[in-house]
A and B are shown apart, each in its own frame.
Chain A
């Protein structure tokens, strides 16, 4: 069944910068700049906007943004609930539903991040003291403290079950960095080799420094409206073929909680949302030419390729070796902007790149790309997947 009705009609972003470099501006200023650029891109007036959506506890909310922008008729403000970066497509689900149902006409999805010391991704996740009801009391006392450490557990399980290697993780890093060398917005543009990956500092075995994404500041925004309204705007509309959020049974919301219904820890938990996204769009993985996969750590990309159905469980490592994830010749170029790994960690920059790919304006444009997949493969629930098309 085709999921009709919604398009992405405008994208905008601030410059990206390393952690703390934009702290003097604050997340509100960054969000407003990204929204203004998205409206310009779409050919809309700021006062046409009547809805807002975000995720992962973004520090701005619809009321604040509507006040600052002077929105005359605010109709919609919603936050996708839970999942952190895994739910990066959650606000697209909300925005597409809102415009299709007529709750609002032009919904902006926005994410604005400044990584001050309290938000640092390489620091301890745990608050002191440990909360009385917090599940963290069953993991933090054992020294399981950061995202790199928790995601290392899934990576090691994948290696043990399937023979996946650190070099295969390195191939993801090298491919994405190559794509970033072609993208002037990317923060990391020096090419790297497998040898650079192999000798990069060990963080939490098997995760090395070059398996980790950036810590960065910046904001992204995009505007969603109905296909009908999209026809009157400046850009060729990018259709939302499907957008889905959800989770598998007993898949944890907190990555430090290693309990799930089975012993299969080596998954991003996206199989059910991916099959629903493909079913709703009436497509299969063979119809997709470019993949934008949430790459907080490189092993997550390999697990995503499996969860999304581009290869069987356990085949993600061989897939990145032999099938090709590198532009221009790979069977499935991934993260053609450089991803969180090399462009910036703004949680949502993958959606903007998917839109560019569908417009034909990426700096690593996949020839004749007609369908892009975007996935929040961050190993939490709820997670999210979207298929975008020309």
Chain B
């Protein structure tokens, strides 16, 4: 079941962050990590903010974390969102690290039941044959 009625603003599957989206297609959440100093970073980028290294890999993580904050959106700003509001957008702090926050949606919690601190885990929605979006569900 899809969280939104129609996909929109899909990421480029063959872009510079293809490894992130390829992992999602395999139903894994993989976060960019510095090969030299092991600092995590997100959104991914060409250089490590901690040590300046340009070597990095995408490393699979548990996908578990806690809701840091959320909003319940009452607007439908795109034609593809017709009928979708109210929907939630959450920011999740992943369990393995302190400075990586993932934006997503919690798919199985009613608007009034969402709380800051709620434990969630990644789920994967195959939106198109090329693109899978990681989202979250209550853990």
A135–B45 Cα gap in the complex (Å)? 9
Are A140 and B9 in contact, CB atoms less than 8 angstroms apart? yes
The binding surface of chain A is classed by DSSP as loop
Complex Cα distance, B89 from A262, in Å, reads 20
Within 8 A of B (CB), among A281-338: none
Contact A156 B17 (CB under 8 A): no
Q: Do residues B103 and A142 form an inter-chain contact, with CB atoms below 8 A?
A: yes
Residues in A neighbouring B15, C-beta threshold 8 A: 132-133, 137
Are B77 and A153 neighbours in the complex by a CB distance under 8 Å?
no
Residue of B nearest to A250 (CB): B49
- B interface: dominant SS: loop
Task: Assign chain B's interface to a size class.
Answer: 35 or more
**Cross-chain contact A153 with B87 (CB below 8 angstroms):** no
Contact assessment for A141 and B43 in the assembled complex, using a CB-CB cutoff below 8 Å:
no
Contacts of B75 in A (CB 8 A): 122, 146, 148-149, 203-204
Interface 1/0 per residue, A125-137 and B, CB below 8 Å? 0101111110111
Q: Which of B68, B72, B117, B133 contacts A265 (CB 8 A)?
A: B68
B42 at the A interface (CB under 8 A): yes
Bitwise interface map of B from 79 to 109 toward A, beta carbon under 8 Å scored 1, else 0: 0010010110101010000111111110000
Please determine whether A261 and B89 come into contact, CB atoms closer than 8 angstroms.
no
* Residues 30-44 of B at the A interface (beta carbon under 8 Å): 41-43
* CA gap between A137 and B99 in the complex, in Å: 19
Closest to A266 in B: B69
Which B residues are in CB contact (< 8 Å) with A129? 9-10, 12
CB interface residues, A 121-180, toward B, < 8 Å: 122-124, 126, 128-133, 135-146, 148-149, 152-154, 156-157, 160
Shortest distance between the CB of B118 and any CB in chain A (Å): 11
Name B residues whose Cβ lies closer than 8 Å to a Cβ of A: 4, 7-12, 15-17, 41-43, 49, 68-75, 77-78, 81, 84, 86-87, 89, 91, 93, 98-105, 111, 115-117, 127, 133, 135
Mark A residues whose CB is within 8 Å of B.
122-124, 126, 128-133, 135-146, 148-149, 152-154, 156-157, 160, 201-207, 250, 256-263, 265
Q: Please give 13 more A-B residue pairs, beta carbons under 8 A apart, in addition to A136-B9, A153-B71, A205-B71.
A: A129-B10, A132-B15, A142-B89, A142-B103, A143-B81, A144-B89, A153-B69, A157-B68, A258-B101, A262-B99, A263-B98, A265-B68, A265-B101
Instruction: Report 19 cross-chain contacts, Cβ distance below 8 Å, ordered by A residue.
Output: A122-B75, A124-B77, A126-B9, A129-B10, A132-B12, A132-B15, A137-B17, A138-B102, A138-B103, A141-B9, A141-B127, A142-B133, A146-B75, A156-B71, A160-B116, A202-B74, A204-B75, A205-B74, A262-B98
